[in-house]
Structure 1
Amino acid sequence: MSMGTTKSGWVVAGLLLSILMASMDNTIVATAMGTIVGELGGLDKFVWVTSAYMVAEMAGMPIFGKLSDMYGRKRFFIFGIIAFMLGSVLCGTADSIMELSLYRAVQGIGAGALVPISFTIMFDAVPADSRGKLMGMFGAVFGMSSIFGPLLGAYITDYMSWEWVFYINLPIGLVALLFIAKFYRESAVHTKQRIDWLGSGTLVGAVVSLMFALELGGKMFPWSSAPILGLFAGFAICAVLFIFAERRAEEPIISFGMFKNRLFATSNVIGFMSGGAYIVASVYIPIFIQGVLGGSATSSGFMLLPMMLGTVVTATLGGMVMGRLSYRTILASTLALLAVGLTLLTTITADTPRLVITLYMILVGLGVGASFSVLTTSAVHAMPGSQRGSAMATINFLRSLGMMVGITVYGLLQNHAMSRKLSDMFSGGGLGELPQGIKLEDPYVLMTPETRALIPEAALDALGGGLAASIANVFAWGLLPAVLAVGAACAMSGAKHDPKAEEADGYAAAAAH
C-alpha cells in the first residue's frame, strides 16, 4: 500500500487521534475518580470502573486482530470508533458506579478494536524506513495523552462536571472516523480463514472468570466460598480449554508458535510486567494527592504531569534510536529507571514534600516511556507479514492483561493494608466517633474537601496516615513486576530495528497475498 494511494498523512492523523482518544480516556478517568466516587458512591466497586474497561479491551484485542486479518481492517476499526463513542455517551449518563462500570465495558470493546488495528494499519500504510520515527510518534501520543488527560480531566472535574470527561471523546472520535473512512483504502482481497470460535469463547470466559474472582473475593464473598472457588475453577477450565483449542485450531486467536521466537516472547513478558508496574503509579498517585494531602482533582492532575513528560521523552527517543541501539539496550536501561522510581515511591508518607514525589514520578515516566514505542516493533521483528496483526494484538493483549491483573490485585492489597492500619488506629485509640455516614472502610471520602471538613482533625490525620501507608505498600508490590521486566529485557536478543529486512518481508507477504 503506497503512501500516495492511501493519502497516508490523513490516515496517520486518524490513527493518532484514535490512539489519543483511547489512551487519554484512562488518564482522565483516573484523575476524576475521586470526584466520581464521592458523587456516585460505591467505593467497594470503584476499581471496576477501570477494570471493566481493561477486561473488555483485553478480551477484544486478539479477537478483533484476527477478524481484521480475515475480513479487512477498516470495517473493524470503524466499528471500534463507533463503539467507543457510544460507550462514552452512556458513561456520561451513569447514575451509579455499577452503571458506569458497565458502560466502561462498552468503551473497552471499542478500544479492543482500535488499539491493535491502529498499529497494524500503520505498518501496512507506512514504508519500513519511516516506522521507527512513527513508532516514536505513537509512543509520544501515549505520553501526551497522559499529560493532557489528567489536566483536562482535572479542569473538567473542578470547573464543569465529571460527565464531560467522557463527552470530550466525541469530537476527537468523529474527526478520526472521518479521516479513516474517507482516506484509508485497503486491498479488497483478504485471506478467508475459519473463525476460532472455541478459542474466542474460552479466552473471554477465562478473562471474565478471573476478573470476577479477584473482584468479589474477600468483599462480597469469602475467598473460600463456593462462588469464588467456582470462579477460579471456571478460569482454570477455560484456560485449559483455550490452550487445547489454540493448539488444534487451523488459525488460532493466539498462535503459541510465535513464542518460540525469543524476541517476541521476551517482548510480551516485558509488556505484561511493565503494564502491571506502570498502572500502580497512574492510579494511586492521584489518590494519594487528593486523599492524603487534601489536594483537588487539578492538583492530582498536575502531579501526574512530570511523570507523563518523562514518558514522552523516552517514548520519542526510543523510537528514534531503534535503528542504532538494540531493543535490549533501550529497554533494559529505561526499565531500570522504572524500578528505581517505584523503589523511591515506597518511602512516601503523609509528610513527604510534593517536590520529592515529583522527582520520583519523573523517574517512573522515563522508565516506562520507551516500552510504548519500542515493544510493538520488537514484538513483530522477524515475524512474517502474515503474522504481524496477530503479533501486535498479542503484545497489546498481554500489556492490558498486566494492567488488569495489576489494578485488581493492587486494589485488594491496598484495601487490606488500609483496613488493617485503621483498625489498629481506631480500636481503643481514643480518636472518637466519625460523623454519621462516614465509614472506615470507605477511605476515599477523603477525596472531597466538603467531607474532610466534617471529620475531626485527629481522625482525619489517622485516615490520611493509614491511606499513605497502604499506598506505599502497594508501590512495594509494584516493584516486583518492574524488576521482572528488567530481567526479561536483559534476556532479549541483540537485534535492532532493520527497515530493509522489514520492507523485503512486506513485499514477499504482498506477493504471496
Structure 2
Amino acid sequence: MKTSSLVTAGLLLGIFMAAIDNTIVATAMGTIVGDLGNYDQFVWVTAAYMVAMMAGMPIYGKLSDMYGRKRFFLFGLIVFLIGSILCGLADSMNQLIVFRVIQGIGGGALMPIAFTIIFDIFPPEKRGKMTGLIGAVFGVSSVFGPLMGAFITETLSWHWIFYINVPIGAVALYLIGRHYKETLETRKQKIDWLGASTLVIAVVCLMFALELGGEAYGWSSPELLALFALALVAFIVFVFAERRAEEPIISFWMFKKRLFATSQIIAFIYGGTFVVLAIFIPIFVQAVFGGSASSAGTTLMPMMIGSVVGSMTGGMLQTKIPFRTMMIFSGVCFLTGMILLSTMTPDISRIMLGVYMFLAGLGVGFSFSLLPAASINDLPKRYRGSANSTNSFLRSFGMTVGIAIFGTVQTMSFSNRMTEAFADRVNENLIADPQELFTPEGRAQIPDDVLAVITTTMSDSITFIFSLAIIPISLALLTSFFMGGEKVETNEDLKMKGSPE
C-alpha cells in the first residue's frame, strides 16, 4: 500500500474520533448521570470538551504552520487518547468534566491539521478526492455517533464509549508516526503569546456562556452577562494584539481575500443550521412518531447518505468547477431541503421525511470538502494551517451558536404552544415532563386526545425552528454568489500560468 494511502487512513481515523465524540457521549449521557449522579452538572461534560477543543483550534493551526504539522497532530492524538482513558476511568462527575477538558485539548488539533496535511502531501489534482473523503467521514460521524453510542452503552457500558478510542487512536498514531515524512522549513519565529492568551480567554468565556445559557443559568443572569462582557473585552484586546504581532495567530489579511472570507461566513452558517437537523429530527421521530432511540438514530441515515454523496462529489469536481458554482448548488439543495422539512406534520410518511433529509444532507455535504479547500486555495503553504483551523473553528462555533439559539427558541415555542393549547385545563397534570413523550411507557399514560394535541404541538415547535433556519441558509446562499470564479488549480494549470506549486 502506498505511503500516502496509509497516512490518509491515519488521518481519517483521527478525524473520526474527534468528530464523533460529542454525539456518542450525548447518547450515553442519561446512563452516565444515572451512574455518577450530579444531574445538575451534566451540561459541563459537553461544554468542557467543546470549549477546550475550540480554544485550541486556531492556536494549533498557527503552530503547525510555524513548526510543522506532524508533531502537533501526534501531540493532539496522544492527549486525546490520554483524556479518553481517564474519562473511562472516571468515578465522579467532577472527574469526568476535568478529563473531558484534556480530551478537548487534544481534539482541537486533529480536524484542522488533518485537512492541512492532505493539501501538503497530495498534488492539486488529487486533493479533491482526498478532502471529499475526509468530509464524508465528518458527515458520517455526525449521524453514526448516536447509533454507536446507544449500541456500546446497551451492550457494554458507558465507559467503553471512551475506551473504544484507544485501539482506533493507536492505529492512527502508528500510521502517522511511521509513514508521514514531513519536510520542515525551519526559521526563527516569535510566538504571539498575547494573541494566544486573549483568544483562549475570549473563546472560553463565550463558549461557556453559550453552552450554559438557558440550562445552568438564565440568559440575563449576572454570571452569563459577566462571561459575555469578558469575552468581548478579551476579543477586542486580541484584535489589537494581532495587528501588531509579527506572527499573528490569525492573519486578518486573509479575510481580504474574497474566497477566504466568504468561505468562513458560509462555514459558520452551515454549522449552525446543520446541527439543527441532527438534533431535532431524532426528537421529532421519538416524540411525534413514538419511535425508539435507535429508530430515531436510524432515521438520520438518509441525511448521512446525502452528506457523503455531496462531500465526495464536491471533492472530485473542485478541480473542474468553480467553488462558487458548486456552493450555489449546495445552498439551493440545503435551502430546498429545509423548506420542505419546515412543512412537516405528524402525518408525514417516513419515505418523504427521508427524501427531504437526503436533499438537505446533500447540500451540506458539499461544504465538508469544498469550504476547507476554498479556505486555503491559493495561499502559501505556511498559512494553510492557520486558514484551515479558522474554517474548522467557525464551523464548530456556528454549531454551538445554533444549538444555543435554536434550542432556546424551540423550548420556548413548545412551552408557549402547550400553554395556549391547554389554557382551559391549567389545573390538570396533563404531562408532568415532556420526556414522557420519548418512551412507550410514558406515552401510554397520556390520554389519546391529549397525546394528539401534545405531539402536534411538539411537531409545530420543531418545524417552526426549521422555518427560522431558512433565513440564515438563504444568507449563506447569497454569500455563495460572491465567492468568485476560482477553482482548485491542477499542476497542469499552474504550469500553464508559469507558477508550478
TM over 0.5: yes
Per the TM alignment, residue 102 of structure 1 is displaced from its structure 2 partner at its CA by 5.0
Q: Distance in 1 between matches of 2:447 and 2:342?
A: 28
**Retained in 1: the 8 A contact 2:270–2:398?**
yes
Q: Distance in 2 between matches of 1:377 and 1:246?
A: 24
Q: Which residue among 127, 140, 145 is the counterpart of 2:141?
A: 145
- Aligned in 2, Cα 1:57/1:172: closer, same or farther, shift over 3 Å? same
Match of 1:313 in 2: 309
Residue 10 (1) aligns with residue 21 (2): no
Q: Distance in 2 between matches of 1:38 and 1:458?
A: 33
Per the TM alignment, residue 446 of structure 1 is displaced from its structure 2 partner at its CA by 3.5
Per the TM alignment, residue 237 of structure 1 is displaced from its structure 2 partner at its CA by 0.6
Q: Which residue among 391, 395, 401 is the counterpart of 1:399?
A: 395
- Aligned in 2, Cα 1:304/1:162: closer, same or farther, shift over 3 Å? farther
Residue 374 (1) aligns with residue 365 (2): no
Amino acid at match of 1:418: F
Per the TM alignment, residue 53 of structure 1 is displaced from its structure 2 partner at its CA by 3.2
Match of 2:473 in 1: 482
Per the TM alignment, residue 32 of structure 1 is displaced from its structure 2 partner at its CA by 4.9
Residue 73 (1) aligns with residue 64 (2): no
Task: Out of 455-464 and 239-248, give the one that drifted further.
Answer: 455-464
Match of 1:19 in 2: 15
Per the TM alignment, residue 347 of structure 1 is displaced from its structure 2 partner at its CA by 2.3
Please list the CA deviations of residues 91-131 of structure 1 after superposition, one character each: whole Å capped at 9, or x if unmatched. 44566777655544433222210111111222222223221
Match of 1:470 in 2: 461
Q: Distance in 2 between matches of 1:35 and 1:400?
A: 26
Per the TM alignment, residue 37 of structure 1 is displaced from its structure 2 partner at its CA by 6.8
Amino acid at match of 1:347: T
Q: Which residue among 209, 216, 223 is the counterpart of 1:213?
A: 209
Match of 1:115 in 2: 111
Amino acid at match of 1:197: W
**Retained in 2: the 8 A contact 1:10–1:183?**
yes
Q: Distance in 2 between matches of 1:475 and 1:33?
A: 26
User: 1:328-477 to 2 correspondence within 5 Å?
Assistant: 328-429=324-425, 432-433=428-429, 439-440=432-433, 443-454=434-445, 460-477=451-468
Match of 2:199 in 1: 203
Match of 2:228 in 1: 232
Per the TM alignment, residue 38 of structure 1 is displaced from its structure 2 partner at its CA by 7.6
Q: How many residue pairs get matched? A: 500
Match of 2:253 in 1: 257
Match of 1:296 in 2: 292
Task: Out of 97-106 and 23-32, give the one that drifted further.
Answer: 97-106
Q: Distance in 2 between matches of 1:48 and 1:197?
A: 28
Per the TM alignment, residue 458 of structure 1 is displaced from its structure 2 partner at its CA by 5.4
For 2:379, what is the secondary structure of its paired residue? coil
Per the TM alignment, residue 217 of structure 1 is displaced from its structure 2 partner at its CA by 4.2
Residue 499 (1) aligns with residue 490 (2): yes
- Aligned in 2, Cα 1:238/1:481: closer, same or farther, shift over 3 Å? same
Per the TM alignment, residue 36 of structure 1 is displaced from its structure 2 partner at its CA by 5.9
Q: Distance in 2 between matches of 1:41 and 1:353?
A: 39
Please list the CA deviations of residues 436-495 of structure 1 after superposition, one character each: whole Å capped at 9, or x if unmatched. xx844xx33543445445555555555444433322222222222211111111111111
Amino acid at match of 1:304: L
RMSD between aligned residues = 3.1
**Retained in 1: the 8 A contact 2:286–2:292?**
yes
Amino acid at match of 1:486: L
Amino acid at match of 1:387: Y
Please list the CA deviations of residues 358-416 of structure 1 after superposition, one character each: whole Å capped at 9, or x if unmatched. 12111111110011111111111111122111111111111111111111222221222
**Retained in 2: the 8 A contact 1:47–1:411?**
no
Gaps of 5+ in 1: none
Task: Out of 152-161 and 310-319, give the one that drifted further.
Answer: 152-161
Amino acid at match of 1:403: M
Amino acid at match of 1:176: A
User: 1:64-103 to 2 correspondence within 5 Å?
Assistant: 64-92=60-88, 102-103=98-99
Q: Distance in 2 between matches of 1:410 and 1:48?
A: 19
Please list the CA deviations of residues 131-155 of structure 1 after superposition, one character each: whole Å capped at 9, or x if unmatched. 1221122222223334543443343
Match of 2:277 in 1: 281
User: 1:162-181 to 2 correspondence within 5 Å?
Assistant: 162-181=158-177
**Retained in 2: the 8 A contact 1:51–1:408?**
no
Q: Distance in 2 between matches of 1:99 and 1:415?
A: 30
User: 1:234-249 to 2 correspondence within 5 Å?
Assistant: 234-249=230-245
Amino acid at match of 1:470: S
Q: Distance in 1 between matches of 2:309 and 2:436?
A: 36
**Retained in 2: the 8 A contact 1:136–1:315?**
yes
Q: Distance in 2 between matches of 1:503 and 1:16?
A: 29
Q: Distance in 2 between matches of 1:55 and 1:244?
A: 23
Per the TM alignment, residue 86 of structure 1 is displaced from its structure 2 partner at its CA by 2.9
Per the TM alignment, residue 357 of structure 1 is displaced from its structure 2 partner at its CA by 1.8
Q: Distance in 1 between matches of 2:4 and 2:103?
A: 27
- Aligned in 2, Cα 1:217/1:400: closer, same or farther, shift over 3 Å? closer
TM-score normalised by structure 2 residue count: 0.90
Q: Distance in 1 between matches of 2:179 and 2:399?
A: 34
Q: Distance in 2 between matches of 1:477 and 1:102?
A: 36
Q: Which residue among 188, 203, 225 is the counterpart of 1:192?
A: 188
For 2:425, what is the secondary structure of its paired residue? coil
Match of 2:179 in 1: 183
Q: Distance in 2 between matches of 1:163 and 1:379?
A: 38
Task: Out of 383-392 and 140-149, give the one that drifted further.
Answer: 140-149
**Retained in 1: the 8 A contact 2:66–2:382?**
no
Task: Out of 125-134 and 369-378, give the one that drifted further.
Answer: 125-134
Amino acid at match of 1:77: F
Please list the CA deviations of residues 144-186 of structure 1 after superposition, one character each: whole Å capped at 9, or x if unmatched. 3345434433433444444433332222111101111222222
- Aligned in 2, Cα 1:40/1:304: closer, same or farther, shift over 3 Å? farther
